[in-house]
């Protein structure tokens, strides 16, 4: 995917601080992140990670991080690979968070059976 001037990333699942894939984001985070939300529906894939659909139907709980500007292109390449955007499992999309921040986020692509997560919070499931 093409990089842009967006330097924020909204994360809602295993890329959040304290979860199993935080180590992929941590070297690229320019700040400690802020608690945030996004309009959409969060699903449990049954595979140990969630999937989000940014459809505005509900609220997804997450964190918005600023990415290091000098490593922005590298960060997006690494995260796109980790999120399996090439195979289409996830897509990197532009959203506006509940705090009004224009940010990248990873939206569910296709191919999995999904169960909605009540309350939209992966950590509270």
pLDDT tens digits for range 11-22: 999 999 999 999
pTM of the model: 0.90
Integer Cα distance of 117 and 17 in angstroms: 19
Which has the higher per-residue pLDDT, 45 or 113?
A: 45
* CATH of the structural domain 8-111, one choice from 3.30.2020.30, 3.40.228.10, 3.10.490.10, 3.40.718.10: 3.10.490.10
pLDDT in tens, 98-115: 999 999 999 998 766 788
- Domain locations in the chain? 8-111
Q: For residue 111, what pLDDT is reported?
A: 67
Share of the chain above pLDDT 90, in %: 75
User: Which SS3 state, helix, strand or coil, does residue 104 take?
Assistant: strand
CA distance 71 to 13: 22
**Average pLDDT for the chain:** 92
Place of tokens 């499992």: 89
């Amino acid at each position: 995917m093409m990089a842009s001037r967006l330097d924020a990333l909204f994360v809602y699942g295993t890329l959040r601080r304290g979860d199993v894939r935080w180590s992929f984001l941590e070297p690229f985070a320019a700040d400690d992140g802020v608690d945030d939300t996004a309009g959409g529906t969060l699903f449990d894939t049954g595979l140990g990670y969630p999937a989000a659909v940014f459809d505005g139907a509900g609220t997804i709980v997450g964190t918005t991080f600023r990415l290091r500007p000098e490593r922005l292109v590298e960060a997006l390449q690494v995260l796109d690979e980790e999120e399996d955007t090439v195979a289409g499992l996830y897509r990197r999309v532009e959203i506006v968070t509940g705090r009004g921040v224009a940010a990248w986020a990873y939206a569910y692509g296709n191919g999995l059976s999904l169960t909605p997560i009540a309350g939209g919070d992966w950590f509270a499931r």
